[in-house]
Chain A
């Protein structure tokens, strides 16, 4: 069974430029999460999708961040324009959202904003 796939693995951009990250969850997983992990910290939730609906985006900086999950499968997280403080690892996770189910993580995208 393939795991959560993310691309790119690394991205370096100049500040004020746009950037997008892509995530393909485990087949059949209806719930998808985007987390941000700053250096030396644990991941923090940005947004959670149940199928194609964003059910928790309270931590997403909506002035510059946007996300979509068309057709309830793949998801894209976008930052426009990027700021220096956006440098972090962006992790995608998916689960079946059954009571006992576990979130499975992708390898993440390391973003560096110069």
Chain B
């Protein structure tokens, strides 16, 4: 079974600085998808960024970028120019390809990010 590990329960960053959240995963699949979701206190899970495993180029969405190391099974999230609104729980998630038949998201336990003004 696939597992996702987030080794940092809590992180903090100064406003305008850069922070990196770690995520590793375990899978025997060669094709899959990786996600970072943000969950603010409102509880709504919001997609931050998505990476297809077959793509070598790291995904980027504005201030958010990933460092995808397929051989190491590592998928870290970098937040640049941190803002107060970035404070939330961040979850790393894994999904198998749709043709594998069973495609729920497998989540890590999350990292709570605090942004210090």
Residues of A within 8 A of B (CB): 3, 33, 35, 40-45, 48, 56, 89, 91, 93, 97-100, 102-108, 110
Q: Number of B residues contacting the other chain (C-beta, 8 Å)?
A: 24
- Within B18-63, the residues touching A (CB, 8 Å) are 33, 35, 37, 42-47, 50, 52
The reply to whether B104 and A56 form a contact with Cβ atoms under 8 Å apart is yes
The reply to whether A105 and B44 form a contact with Cβ atoms under 8 Å apart is yes
**In the complex, per-residue mask of B81-99: 1 if CB is within 8 Å of any chain A CB, else 0:** 0000000000101000110
The reply to whether A100 and B52 form a contact with Cβ atoms under 8 Å apart is yes
The reply to whether B43 and A44 form a contact with Cβ atoms under 8 Å apart is no
B109 at the interface (CB under 8 A from A): yes
Pairs A–B under 8 Å by Cβ, sample size 11: A42-B4, A42-B93, A48-B104, A98-B98, A99-B98, A100-B52, A102-B35, A105-B44, A105-B45, A107-B43, A108-B43
Residues of B within 8 A of A (CB): 4, 33, 35, 37, 42-47, 50, 52, 91, 93, 97-98, 102-105, 107-110
Q: Do A41 and B43 form a contact, CB below 8 Å, given A99-B97, A102-B50?
A: no
